[in-house]
């Protein structure tokens, strides 16, 4: 497991990119996350970059003009990272990721001899637009918060809120990778079959119970061969890094369709991720022990357990949901926080997700994406989905301007943010994951719809 720190984590490091040294920056020199971008409104090719302060290091430009400043192993990794997606670089594995991170850290430090070469490779973040940072071959969404699972279960099964397998196995389902979009790309309210309470037949209509789910996205790096499981001891070596993830959910479509095979159209219309992948290595100073399991809970089975996982398998990462309505935008009012939680509360760690996903021999590939599931904490203000916050829509929340919400209305924007900070170390952030719900497409009414008019 790669939870050790090195010189790139030194809290005293400063960058010649002055904005990276500002207090509260998501992207100090100790972070250096990867993404894919181009200049806003241009027809340039997409290419990879690294965020530093309010700037982006254009890795394609660096591979052409500054490659001589990088040691051999880092130079090869830079060339692999300079494409229009990060998949090739992700597939190289931990040694290559670490080598390039170290070379970039040294090149961006105050006083570096590489400043003259690298400063010509900078693009202001305000001038950039982003694409999904990797070609996502497969997307699996998990269910790692026992608090979310219990809260949701209590709404539908008050006498048996938590299914008996939950404490034994990381629950997941395979989602739709084609509808994963990057922050800032808005989407239309989904349409699907809904069976209203007391109705004899379902109708086709726009979802009226649009929800959010605050999750982390886990990007797979180096994969494994078909038939070869990944052991817990090596699981973290296969994780490239993390993004914020909003698993938008149509709560009125979901209960009608999910029996017996699980989520389908209620989930696959859009999944929004933040543009910057914060590497597992960057998060090393913020690792923590997972929460102690309650007395009586079973210990993880052997393939899901390791001494390292018990001491630092979790990440102490703060996560928040902000909501901004159209009226708030018109009045120039800031988005309101409706949840503040922490990834450390997850019942299953990201290493356990990798080990479980592959125990049957399933092969992972560079760029595959895992969702952690909704990351609710134990307290009411740590509920990370509206269905929890409003108790299934029965208790609306009141926003600072007096508006109320049970579920999302057209024009509502949701912003997810995440960051790590601790005494003696700088704050590093994941940036922003933003999306706005647009009105649904026009529906051509079918015979069943007319029968309900």
pLDDT tens, position by position, 332-352:
999 999 999 999 999 999 999
Q: Is the pLDDT of residue 141 over 60?
A: yes
Q: Is the pLDDT of residue 447 over 80?
A: no
Kindly report which listed range (224-238, 349-363, 438-452) carries the lowest average pLDDT score. Answer: 438-452
Q: What is the mean pLDDT of the chain?
A: 95
Q: Which among 345, 369, 367, 342 has a CA at the least distance from the CA of 357?
A: 369
Delimit the CATH 2.30.30.230 region(s) of the chain. Answer: 7-131
Determine how β-strand 271-273 pairs with β-strand 239-246: antiparallel
pLDDT tens per residue, range 165-206: 999 999 999 999 999 999 999 999 999 999 999 999 999 999
Q: How confident is the model at residue 317 (pLDDT cuts 50, 70, 90)?
A: very high
- The pLDDT score that the predictor gives to residue 67 is 86
Average pLDDT of 281-310? 96
Give the CA count within 13 Å in the CB-facing half-sphere of 329: 10
- The pLDDT score that the predictor gives to residue 157 is 83
Query: In the chain, what percentage of residues exceed pLDDT 90?
Result: 91
Q: Is the pLDDT of residue 450 over 90?
A: no
What would the two tokens of residue 87 be? 């998949």
Q: Which residues are catalytic?
A: 148
Q: Which among 113, 131, 119, 123 has a CA at the least distance from the CA of 36?
A: 131
What would the two tokens of residue 351 be? 């290493």
Q: Is the pLDDT of residue 226 over 60?
A: yes
CA-CA-CA-CA torsion for 193, 194, 195, 196, nearest 10 degrees? -150
Kindly report which listed range (49-53, 63-67, 171-175, 288-292) carries the lowest average pLDDT score. Answer: 63-67
What would the two tokens of residue 84 be? 């229009």
Average pLDDT of 32-58? 97
- The pLDDT score that the predictor gives to residue 259 is 86
- The pLDDT score that the predictor gives to residue 209 is 97
Domain 7-131 class, CATH top level:
mainly beta
Query: In the chain, what percentage of residues exceed pLDDT 70?
Result: 97
Q: Is the pLDDT of residue 325 over 90?
A: yes
Q: Is the pLDDT of residue 3 over 80?
A: no
Average pLDDT of 224-248? 98
- The pLDDT score that the predictor gives to residue 2 is 56
Average pLDDT of 88-104? 97
Delimit the CATH 3.90.850.10 region(s) of the chain. Answer: 139-452
Q: Is the pLDDT of residue 374 over 60?
A: yes
Calculate the alpha carbon distances from 77 to 98, 404, 447 in Å: 9, 50, 58
For 15, residues 6+ apart whose C-beta sits below 8 A from its C-beta are 21, 28, 29, 52, 53, 108, 109, 110
Q: Which CATH number fits domain 139-452: 3.30.1490.100, 3.30.300.20, 3.90.850.10, 3.30.70.270?
A: 3.90.850.10
CA-CA-CA-CA torsion for 148, 188, 258, 136, nearest 10 degrees? -80
Q: Is the pLDDT of residue 451 over 50?
A: no
What residues are paired with 6 via a beta bridge? Answer: none
Max CA pair span of the chain: 75
For 159, residues 6+ apart whose C-beta sits below 8 A from its C-beta are none
């Amino acid at each position: 497991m790669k939870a050790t720190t090195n010189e790139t984590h030194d809290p005293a490091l400063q960058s010649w990119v002055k904005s990276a040294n500002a207090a509260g920056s998501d992207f100090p020199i100790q972070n250096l996350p990867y993404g894919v971008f181009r200049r806003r409104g241009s027809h340039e090719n997409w290419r990879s970059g690294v965020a530093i302060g309010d700037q982006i290091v254009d890795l394609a430009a660096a591979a052409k003009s500054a490659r001589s400043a990088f040691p051999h192993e880092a130079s090869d990794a830079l060339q692999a990272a300079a494409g229009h997606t990060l998949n090739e670089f992700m597939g190289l594995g931990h040694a290559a990721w670490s080598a390039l991170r170290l070379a970039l850290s040294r090149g961006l430090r105050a006083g570096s001899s590489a400043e003259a070469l690298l400063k010509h490779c900078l693009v202001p973040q305000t001038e950039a637009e982003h694409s999904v940072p990797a070609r996502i071959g497969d997307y699996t969404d998990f269910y790692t918060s026992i608090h979310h699972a219990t809260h949701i279960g209590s709404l539908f099964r008050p006498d048996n809120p938590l299914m008996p397998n939950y404490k034994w196995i990381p629950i997941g389902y395979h989602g739709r990778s084609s509808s994963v979009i990057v922050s800032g790309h808005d989407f239309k309210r989904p349409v699907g079959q809904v069976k209203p309470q007391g109705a004899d037949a379902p109708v086709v209509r726009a979802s009226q119970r649009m929800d959010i789910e605050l999750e982390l996205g886990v990007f797979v790096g180096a994969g494994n061969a078909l038939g070869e499981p990944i052991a817990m001891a090596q699981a973290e070596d296969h994780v490239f890094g993390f993004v914020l993830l909003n698993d938008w959910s149509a709560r009125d479509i979901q209960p009608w369709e999910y029996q017996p095979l699980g989520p389908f159209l209620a989930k696959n219309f859009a999944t929004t991720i933040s543009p910057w992948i914060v590497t597992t290595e960057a998060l090393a100073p913020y690792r923590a022990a997972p929460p102690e399991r309650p007395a009586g809970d079973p210990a993880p089975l052997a393939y899901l357990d390791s001494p390292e996982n018990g001491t630092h398998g979790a990440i102490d990462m703060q996560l928040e949901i902000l909501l901004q309505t159209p009226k708030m935008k018109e009045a120039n009012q800031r988005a309101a926080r409706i949840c503040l939680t922490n990834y450390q509360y997850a019942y299953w760690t990201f290493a356990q997700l990798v080990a479980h996903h592959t125990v049957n021999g399933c092969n992972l590939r560079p760029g595959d994406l895992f969702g952690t599931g909704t990351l609710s904490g134990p307290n009411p203000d740590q509920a990370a989905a509206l269905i929890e916050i409003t108790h299934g829509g029965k208790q609306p929340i009141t926003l600072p301007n007096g508006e109320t919400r049970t579920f999302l209305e057209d024009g509502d924007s949701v912003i997810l943010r995440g960051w790590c900070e601790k005494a003696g170390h700088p704050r590093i952030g994941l940036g922003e994951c933003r999306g706005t719900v647009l009105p649904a497409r026009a529906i051509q009414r079918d015979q069943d719809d007319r029968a309900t008019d």
